[in-house]
Amino acid sequence: MNDVIWVKIDAMLNFNGRRFINNHETLIWAVKNKNCKNYTFNFELLKKMNGGEQMKDTDWNFAICRGPERLKDENGMKAHPTQKPLKLIQQVLLTASKKGDLVLDPFMGSGTTAVVAKALGREWVGIEKEKKYIEFAQRRIKDFIIN
């Protein structure tokens, strides 16, 4: 139906000078069946979030994960190489789901979708094959629930 571009407003520079900076990622906005009409798209909420105007821009500007949001391993290194920012996933879930909905994250990684879903009153299911990421996500979700 659409694609949304996450513009990484503070993307890391390419110090070796062999390619462009990786300053965006594409989110595919899709439905299972192109004839589907009963999917959630919170038009009025998006309009409200955009100062009363219809949201036209599919370039969403969010900073990459840094500071306390960035999960670190026992050596102080990034726990997951492609951790998504909470605000990005929040905008996705606010756009395409309602309280009580079930959100599926088939590539759970660091658990960002689960944390945001829980905060927004959504249920969630996550799938992840890498044991170390499962452990990071479990701790992150537990810490969120406690706090």
Domain coordinates in residue numbering, the chain:
2-146
Residue 31 has pLDDT above 90, yes or no: no
Tell me how far apart the alpha carbons of residues 76 and 28 are, in angstroms, rounded to a whole number.
Answer: 32
Mean pLDDT of 112-140: 96
Q: What proportion of the chain, given as a percentage, has pLDDT over 70?
A: 99
**Rounded distance, CA 142 to CA 66, Å?**
21
Dihedral sign of CA atoms 137, 143, 144, 145 in order: positive
pTM of the complete model:
0.90
Q: What is the CATH number of domain 2-146?
A: 3.40.50.150
